[in-house]
Copies of this chain bind each other. A is one copy, B any other.
Amino acid sequence: MQLTPEDRAFLDTYEPSDFPRPSVTVDLVVFTVIDSDLKVLLVQRDQPPFRTHWALPGGFVQVGDGASQGESLEQAAERELVTETGLPQGRSYLEQLYTFGRPGRDPRMRVITVAYTALVRPDLAPLVAGDDAADARWFSVEHGLPSLAFDHAEILEKGTERLRNKLDYSPVGFRLVAETFTIAELRGVHEAVMGGTYDPGNFRRRFNRMLSDGLIELAEGKRQTSRRPAKVYRFVSELR
């Protein structure tokens, strides 16, 4: 939307009014699948409130009112992902999840948090290092989650629900396998996320539809791990 001359005159004399403002953070629900188990990345807090409790990685969005208004929400999410967890930049799938702003959700002050989901390929998952100060670790979503700080349990719940929903009508599953993968590996991801088992034959049929739709393509080489070597595929992200 273009500014009019009237707008420019107005802005030259405009002073941002002092209506109270909330703090705004981004929080990250970082998923991966390791050993056929859905994991979420948590960091241990070293400051009150909830010191020693585990929490979702996240932090304040850098903002300003002047010539630079600061970073975008996506940039803030990507920055926190890199600095708080040690994961490499630009290699994870990021998607806005939901915004949580209930009064009292942070006892210190009014904080509104824009939650993002991040999907990390399993071959990158071991790179998590954590902050200089705090620890960062993968936890199984189904077995042995610690009690989370703030309303992060609610955020994680929403992230899990959304991931489950998207898995069967959108190609997000490919963000949870390595660059090349076998049908069984992708099936393992679906089983880990959905928490059930899929018929190998029927799963293959769905897979083959995606193949003929050009969503995935055959890659070179075969996977040698199990008994019989399996064909290896690649996700075609550049959709026409």
Contacts and interface: CB of A to CB of B under 8 A. Distances in A.
Given A24-B24, A49-B7, A107-B11, A99 B70 contact: no
Interface string A38-65: 0000000000111101000000111111
Contacts of A112: 24, 61, 63, 73, 112, 114
Nearest to A103: B69
Interface in A178-203: none
A148 interface: yes
A133 interface: no
A164 to B, nearest CB: 14
Contacts of A65: 20, 108-110
A71 interface: yes
A239 interface: no
Interface residues of A, number: 52
Contact of A64 (B3, B60, B110): B110
SS of A interface (majority): loop
Given A1-B53, A11-B108, A69-B110, 6 more contacts: A1-B151, A20-B65, A21-B22, A72-B102, A96-B98, A96-B99
Interface of A: 1, 3-4, 6-7, 10-11, 14, 16, 19-24, 48-51, 53, 60-65, 68-73, 96, 98-99, 101-104, 107-110, 112, 114, 147-153
20 contacts: A1-B150, A6-B48, A7-B48, A7-B49, A16-B23, A19-B23, A20-B63, A20-B70, A21-B23, A21-B63, A24-B24, A24-B112, A63-B112, A65-B110, A68-B103, A69-B103, A69-B110, A72-B101, A72-B103, A112-B114
